[in-house]
Amino acid sequence: MKRHLTVILSLGFLMAGGVCTAWANDDELPFWAYPDTPTQAPSPKDDGQMRTLPGSSKQFSLAELRNFFSPPDWYPEDHPPMPPLVAHGAQPKAYACGYCHLPTGMGRPENAPIAGLPAKYIIKQVHEMKSGARKSALPQHYPQALMWELAEQAATDPGLEEAAAYFAAIKPEQFMKVVETDTIPKVEVTHWIYKKVEAGGTEPLGNRLIELTDDFARFGKRDGRITYTVYVPPGSLAKGKALVDTGGGKTTACATCHGADLKGMGLVPPIAGRSPSYIARQLHDFRVGVRGGDYSELMKPVVANLTNGDFIAITGYLASLAP
Ligand code: HEC
Ligand code: HEC
């Protein structure tokens, strides 16, 4: 009954907030980390116009911006030369890593930041996706579906080791600021990402974390220099810091395994300054047990007693730290 009531309440809230997600009936899921629309507006056709960005001498057409096997590289000076798998992938199914994760590996909220992850960890994860040891709680969610599909081929691609070494060598930069607030700019969902509604207005944040690109037009061009604002409810940062630093009687201090500065230790990945939407999806995947693999056993007790409110606090606080 209680669960039933929460579902009704959260549905009502979602409608009031103007956000419609296909996952609204699962009160366990941090639904805000999986923005989706039941029907996706078709992408516009290539109009032949060349797109530009400030500070870049490059130009790309819409078709070029959407090329899974040769993604736009607006700022080649921002990263070392890309190995073939990162720049061009491998036919037929291993799409270029640089398409979704961007040439710098900074990633986007709908996928994952992979710059600065240990190379062996990257390889291990791709293999665990292929073997099925690592799954997603929402395998049908399009960005996740594509990653698992390409892992099938990428796991055995001879270029994977080189691609992993490439991303591991890039030092990630801080690209988010975190704001505590009750009210946020009115948002809509388009292509698995939140977008500020052009007409303006505000909406209640409620019990959500919203990771919002500061410039949707640049986001759409796959710009690797954009920034994000992360909105969390008031009090989240202090609550998150307490849980992360001490466990707050509910979990284990994260630094025990993720390193004193939370920037990773051995094969344990960094968690500071990475997309909070991505981090929340992982916490949920560990909690429901779909993210398996030998190392995941260490994370299961960590998340066992954490609620979605705790996820908002923890991921918001982690997002406020430098990577
Ligand atoms: C079509 C988009 C897309 C492409 C192309 C892509 N990925 Fe991903 N990748 C994703 C998504 C989405 C996730 C997040 C999965 C999740 O939410 O659990 C992800 C996650 C990952 C992770 C897990 C990160 C972590 O911290 O555990 C690794 C490693 C990774 N990708 C490596 C690669 C490599 C290597 C390539 C190129 C061979 C690649 N990806 C190409 C979409 C993509
Ligand atoms: C007992 C050791 C341990 C503790 C304590 C721990 N972790 Fe982890 N964590 C791990 C290991 C090991 C992995 C890698 C799992 C794998 O390879 O699948 C991991 C992975 C993660 C990931 C996935 C990152 C990615 O790139 O996909 C997140 C998120 C995470 N931990 C968050 C936390 C948070 C938040 C805390 C503190 C509340 C915490 N962990 C405490 C051991 C730990």
What pLDDT is stored for residue 131 in this prediction? 98
* Cα 100 from chain centre: 10
Quote the ligand 2 centre to 42 CA distance (angstroms): 37
Query: Does ligand 2 lie within 6 Å of residue 133's CB atom?
Result: no
5 pLDDT higher than 70: no
What pLDDT is stored for residue 44 in this prediction? 86
Quote the ligand 1 centre to 116 CA distance (angstroms): 14
User: Mean per-residue pLDDT for 107-135?
Assistant: 98
Residue 32: pLDDT band (50, 70, 90) is very high
**pLDDT tens profile 187-207:** 999 989 999 999 999 999 999
Pocket test for ligand 1, best of 111, 121, 157 (most atoms within 8 A of CB): 111
- Buried (b) or exposed (e) across 219-234, using 16+ Cβ within 10 A? bbbbbbbbebbbbbbe
Pocket test for ligand 1, best of 68, 86, 101, 131 (most atoms within 8 A of CB): 101
Q: Choose among 238, 196, 240: nearest CA to 218.
A: 196
Residue 94: pLDDT band (50, 70, 90) is very high
**pLDDT tens profile 216-250:** 999 999 999 999 999 999 999 999 999 999 999 99
Query: Does ligand 1 lie within 6 Å of residue 150's CB atom?
Result: yes
Closest residue to atom 39 of ligand 2, CA basis? 254
Q: Choose among 156, 50, 49, 145: nearest CA to 100.
A: 145
19 pLDDT higher than 80: no
What pLDDT is stored for residue 285 in this prediction? 96
Quote the ligand 2 centre to 258 CA distance (angstroms): 7
User: Mean per-residue pLDDT for 2-26?
Assistant: 38
Query: Does ligand 2 lie within 6 Å of residue 298's CB atom?
Result: yes
Query: Does ligand 1 lie within 6 Å of residue 269's CB atom?
Result: yes
Quote the ligand 1 centre to 112 CA distance (angstroms): 6
268 pLDDT higher than 80: yes
Lowest mean pLDDT among 38-47, 50-59, 166-175, 304-313: 38-47
Q: For 100, how many CA atoms within 13 A lie in the half-sphere containing its CB?
A: 22
Quote the ligand 1 centre to 64 CA distance (angstroms): 21
**pLDDT tens profile 270-299:** 999 999 999 999 999 999 999 999 999 999
Share of the chain above pLDDT 90, in %: 87
| Tokens 């810091």, residue located | 241
Share of the chain above pLDDT 70, in %: 91
Query: Does ligand 2 lie within 6 Å of residue 316's CB atom?
Result: no
Pocket test for ligand 1, best of 23, 34, 85, 100 (most atoms within 8 A of CB): 100
| Sequence-distant (≥ 6) Cβ neighbours of residue 312 within 8 angstroms | 30, 207, 208, 209, 232, 233, 236, 240, 280
Query: Does ligand 1 lie within 6 Å of residue 168's CB atom?
Result: no
- The type of residue at 23 is W
Pocket test for ligand 2, best of 126, 236, 257, 274 (most atoms within 8 A of CB): 257
Query: Does ligand 2 lie within 6 Å of residue 85's CB atom?
Result: no
Residue 305: pLDDT band (50, 70, 90) is very high
User: Mean per-residue pLDDT for 157-182?
Assistant: 98
Quote the ligand 2 centre to 161 CA distance (angstroms): 23
Sign of the Cα torsion 141, 147, 149, 151 reads: negative
Torsion, CA 18, CA 24, CA 25, CA 30, rounded to 10:
-140
Residue 15: pLDDT band (50, 70, 90) is very low
What pLDDT is stored for residue 155 in this prediction? 98
**Quick one: which atom of ligand 2 is closest to the CA of 301?**
1
Look at phi and psi of residue 91 and say left if phi exceeds 0, alpha if psi is from -120 to 50, else beta.
beta
42 pLDDT higher than 50: yes
321 pLDDT higher than 50: yes
